[in-house]
Amino acid sequence: MTKKQQLIVDIIQWILIGILVIACSIVFMGKCNIQEREKTLLKQNTYIRIHNSKQIATLTKKNTELSDSIIVLTKKLEECSKQK
């Protein structure tokens, strides 16, 4: 090969190396972004689970209170009906 041909081959090789470096960095950055999104989703999912469990606990407490009040009212109605 002549010097000119060798120079052209060298330039093409460096261009290909540059393209590969850019492609690898894009793939690596994409994986980092995916991992960050997964971490964010896990945090949000944990928040949602905590919120839901608190909401369930609150609703359970209200349900218990309502059922207790129904029992009390039923007993009062029974007493009233017995008095008549």
Write down the pLDDT at residue 47. Answer: 74
Name residue, tokens 């896990």: 42
pTM of the complete model: 0.44
pLDDT tens by residue, 1-44: 788 899 999 999 999 999 999 998 888 877 777 777 777 777 77
DSSP H helical ranges for the chain: 3-83
| Alpha carbon distances (Å) from 35 to 2, 29, 32 | 49, 10, 5
pLDDT tens by residue, 47-61: 777 788 888 888 999
Taking the C-alpha atoms of residue 49 and residue 21, their distance in angstroms, rounded to an integer, is 42
For residues 73 and 1, which has the higher predicted lDDT (pLDDT)?
Answer: 73
What radius of gyration, in Å, describes the C-alpha atoms of the chain? Answer: 36
